[in-house]
Structure 1
Amino acid sequence: MADKLRIDKYLWSIRLFKTRSLATDACKAGRVKKEGTNIKPSHEVKIGEVYQVSKAIEKKIIKVLELLPSRVDAKKAVLAYADLTPPEETAKYKSMFHSPVLTRDKGAGRPTKKDRREIDDLSDSFFDVEEE
């Protein structure tokens, strides 16, 4: 077990990022935060600290449980941190991949102008999100 570990290396070793350079770039871009403040890639990780990591549209909150000096397999990697992300945030991310699939009957030919308008109205109404 390592005594000191950089945040970019830690995020790579627990498999949140595919490469260490992607983890470094995320830190430099301000997508890795500790208590709401951006941290540098050279920040030393300590057990018990909580970090907010934004990766594209996915946002995770992790708590460090163990320091991993090198990349390990996925089963061991999930034991090194606790995922504190609220369930509604995770559900929101997963729901992005469940969009409607519009299909037409085989042999129905190309849609007419009227069909096209109906399809557009249906897809526009599905993707409208109500602001609260």
Structure 2
Amino acid sequence: MAAAAAFAMLLSLPVAASRVVERPGVGTVPAFVCIATTVTAEGHTKQSRISRRSGNAVTDRHALRFVRTLTFRPPSGTKWEALGMDERAAHVLVRMHQNGQMAFKLFELNEPLPAICGTPFESVARDREINAASESSP
């Protein structure tokens, strides 16, 4: 009886192993994290918090740590104060991959946020849908 159960389990292994569960930030699947922050007059970030999670807690923590280390520089030859930019609220969209590649974009409060920042994480497929719709929008 035990041999039959073991044999049945062995037969089911390849099927179970072939099922791929896509997780954000794992393999080639990107993780998108939106972070609300304050940019100081010196260009540093402070009071950063996650406003849209990616569905992967490890990636979320890495994105938050990354944003906390950012320093934004004004255009060469100017100062933030001269541009009338004191401390201000902003959002940062971070796209992260498991291999360490990442990209980010700062959105000032007067700029519209991408659709991905306004929706809670549901699934990798849903994130793809949202991104595809936003790329095809004018």
User: TM-score, normalised on structure 1?
Assistant: 0.22
Which structure shows the higher strand fraction? 2
User: TM-score, normalised on structure 2?
Assistant: 0.22
